[in-house]
Homo-oligomer: A and B are copies of this chain.
């Protein structure tokens, strides 16, 4: 008789389990991950060096869902596709955002993603400061919008006893369920235009 199937402990299984705990409870600890997998903490440490490495593994799971950046795509298209996929990947796991942002990125999949993005920008003529500002603005936009996707459909209490210009605007607005999507796309369009202006202001490259 075959033994009951038991998933083989691996770095990926540990990271998926930790992400699942984050999704459900808002945090994870190494002992909680071990308990969830029915193994000892020391067994986990055969696969990961500690909590920080699990966080990096979670980052890699999410970055694996980002749109790949082809080197020959015009930069505005490459940036827009990357940003949309970034927002979507993090929107599915909002509780993972604070621990991920609080830690230096060492995950190689994620570093390659940022490297490819910086490469497209550099080849298009963006200078170092503009590349760093572009990536900062895109990170802010995508993480903020990812949180917004998970917000309840009624964000502001619509108690009719509260009479305010906000309630009036919400009552009359026609955006409906498209609010988050329209807000993200408008923010993305404004960011892309701002980046095009930074590019136009770059000093001509010394041949």
Contact = CB atoms under 8 A, between A and B. Distances in A.
A98 B95 contact: yes
A132 interface: yes
Interface string A84-113: 000000000011011101111110000110
A88 to B, nearest CB: 14
Interface residues of A, number: 75
Interface string A136-160: 1101111111011011101111010
B172 A128 contact: yes
A131 to B, nearest CB: 4
Interface string A174-196: 11000110111011011101100
Contacts of A173: 128-129, 131-132
